Amino acid sequence: MKIGIIANLKKASALKTINQILEYLTLKAIEPLLEIEAANLLKCRQIGVTDEELIDSCQLIIALGGDGTLLRAARLVGDKEKPILGINLGGLGFLTEFSSEEFKQGLDDFLNSTHREEKRMVLSITYRQENFFALNDCSINMGPSCRVIETIIYSDTNYVTRVVADGVVVATPTGSTAYSLAAGGPIVFPTMEAILITPLCPHALSSRPLVLPASETLTIQLDPNSEPAILIIDGQERRGFNPNDKVTIKKANHKVRLVAPKDKSYYEILRRKMKWSGKPGESIE
């Protein structure tokens, strides 16, 4: 078996944690692979490979850092559906559910096939001649002028609404606790299948978040008289989005497989990350 590590090397403890993982994998007689930059920094160039080689060769991908690192790993995995185990090196970390102290137990569970796995819905995004996948969201944001933009939204062939706002976020249930939540969108259980539309600072108070069936295909067009905008996929890919441009967003044919801690429910993660208070049996008065 081979296990690949994709790491955010800007994290202070990244190299130390990579070394700990390498030592543990060696004890288990598992061949590790690293991205070339990490392998060079750790002076183990023999296990450094390109991103494509790492994804193709490994049976498990470890995303070491924060949620941005896991989103990058999911983008690299694409439709190959390789399982991803996220290790959080600080920050909020809704997707990187294992701490640096818990990775050994997570790896053991995976190697013994006793782990818990969650399959998360992915968005397929088509813009001009390019295709993208997003685990969290796709957003259209105001451009360099910093003036509001006007988007026109269709679902399948049905006109939905016109949104005059700083932008609009289209999110998966996994992404419901990211940008969409910050903009006032709902929290949706992450293994559900749905598409969320959340306006960003809309002019009209009646412009509210909307949850649609995952079977629908969205088309969002920038009004011909709108200011230019920016299309952003999972906070990582950016494209200019000009008046009359259209983007098509729908459920992808594959899912992202996340290795999750066996002993943590999503509600426990929500309570901890959102800092919800209260315990069972406490009075609400």
Q: Where are the domains of the chain?
A: 2-115+262-274, 122-253
257-272 pLDDT per residue, tens: 999 988 888 898 888 8
45-73 pLDDT per residue, tens: 999 999 999 999 999 999 999 999 999 99
With cut-offs at 50, 70 and 90, classify the pLDDT of residue 219.
very high
pTM: 0.92
Residue 8 marked as a ligand binder: no
Are 7 and 77 within 8 A, CB to CB? Answer: no
Are 196 and 182 within 8 A, CB to CB? Answer: no
79/63 Cα distance (integer angstroms): 17
Residue 166 marked as a ligand binder: yes
Question: For the domain 122-253, what is the CATH code?
Answer: 2.60.200.30
132/74 Cα distance (integer angstroms): 11
Q: Does domain 2-115+262-274 have CATH number 3.90.380.10?
A: no
Residue 234 marked as a ligand binder: no
Task: Look at residue 83 and tell me whether its pLDDT is greater than 70.
Answer: yes
With cut-offs at 50, 70 and 90, classify the pLDDT of residue 283.
low
Task: Look at residue 190 and tell me whether its pLDDT is greater than 90.
Answer: yes
- Residues acting as catalytic residues: 67
Residue 136 marked as a ligand binder: yes
Closest CA to 155 of 170, 144, 143: 170
230-258 pLDDT per residue, tens: 999 999 999 999 999 999 999 999 999 99
106-147 pLDDT per residue, tens: 999 999 999 999 999 999 999 999 999 999 999 999 999 999
Q: At what angle do helices 14-27 and 103-111 cross, to 10 degrees?
A: 40
Mean residue pLDDT across the chain: 94
Residue 147 marked as a ligand binder: yes
139-182 pLDDT per residue, tens: 999 999 999 999 999 999 899 999 999 999 999 999 999 999 99
Closest CA to 180 of 146, 222, 223, 137: 137
